[in-house]
Structure 1
Amino acid sequence: MKFPVVVHKDADSDYGVTIPDVPGCFSAGRSFSEALHNVREALALHLEGVIADQEQLPQVLAIDVHLNNPDFSGGFWAIVDLDLMPYLRNTTQANTIYPTDSP
């Protein structure tokens, strides 16, 4: 599954990464590449918790839906790809997730 992420960088800080479609899941890194790597790990851990709690997986929206959100202004957009199959194997019900253009 491809998750849109937004990366912010202040002059005196590391790169911070937010996943708009997964509230509460974020990460950081000293470089842009490290930040993207770290957010994949954070997302994997977050999804493990979602499955363990038997909650529904997040619905991923297209980047275009988030572009005008002021919370993400000034950030760099990227796509993080994460295979969801390991998380779905342990569930009795699999929810199909497709990117959409609407919230």
Structure 2
Amino acid sequence: MKYPIAIEPGDDATAWGVVVPDLPGCFSAADNGIDDAIENAKEAIALWIEDAIANSETIPKPSCITELQKSGEYDGWIWAIAEVDPALVDDTIERINITLPRRILALLDRRAKSAGESRSGYIAHMTLMQ
């Protein structure tokens, strides 16, 4: 997924500001230039999407930069694309094979049972809690 981002240039005294117009409230900043601003925007987008999914909200599709530029809201800003892994919004079930020591597997199973979840459900739940 490729989201357009608007980057407000910074300098030695001011951070580079980043806004993701398609994702309300999604913004970021960087101290060390445009490359860091884009990387930080990718992280902000991923966190925004994770939060939206956790709250059962719809994930807006990315807009076209030229359409966003027409608003004039970010005149003088630099436009770029922040590409994030589409797996962030993919809920396709996938079977995996992992290797764990038996004692860890036993502990995992006890904790899953105590939480009233399956092994897979418990692993997913604990991952999302981070």
> For this structure pair, what is the TM-score category when the shorter chain's length is used for normalisation?
0.7 to 0.9
- Give the TM-score taking structure 1 as reference length: 0.80
Query: Displacement, 1:86?
Result: 3.1
Gaps of 5+ in 1: 92-103
**What is the root-mean-square deviation of aligned Cα atoms in Å?**
1.7
State whether structure 2 residue 4 is matched by structure 1 residue 7.
Answer: no
CA distance in 2, matches of 1:33, 1:10: 12
Larger gyration radius, structure 1 or structure 2:
2
CA distance in 1, matches of 2:14, 2:69: 23
Per-residue Cα deviation, 1:31-76 (whole angstroms, up to 9, x for no partner)? 2111111111111000000100111111211011111222210001
The residue that corresponds to 2:26 in the other structure is 25
Greater RCO, 1 or 2 (C-alpha within 8 Å, sep 6+): 1
Q: Which has the higher strand share?
A: 1
Q: Which has the higher helix share?
A: 2
Query: Displacement, 1:90?
Result: 6.9
The residue that corresponds to 2:49 in the other structure is 47
The residue that corresponds to 2:66 in the other structure is 64
CA distance in 2, matches of 1:81, 1:48: 15
CA distance in 2, matches of 1:88, 1:41: 17
Query: Displacement, 1:10?
Result: 4.5
CA distance in 2, matches of 1:87, 1:61: 17
| Structure 1 consecutive aligned stretches of length 4 or more whose deviation exceeds 4 Å | none
Q: How does 1:58-97 map to 2 (within 5 A)?
A: 58-89=60-91
Gaps of 5+ in 2: 94-130
**Partner SS, residue 72 of structure 1:** coil
The percentage of counterpart residues that share the same residue type is 33
- Give the TM-score taking structure 2 as reference length: 0.64
Letter in 2 for 1:41: E
The residue that corresponds to 1:101 in the other structure is none
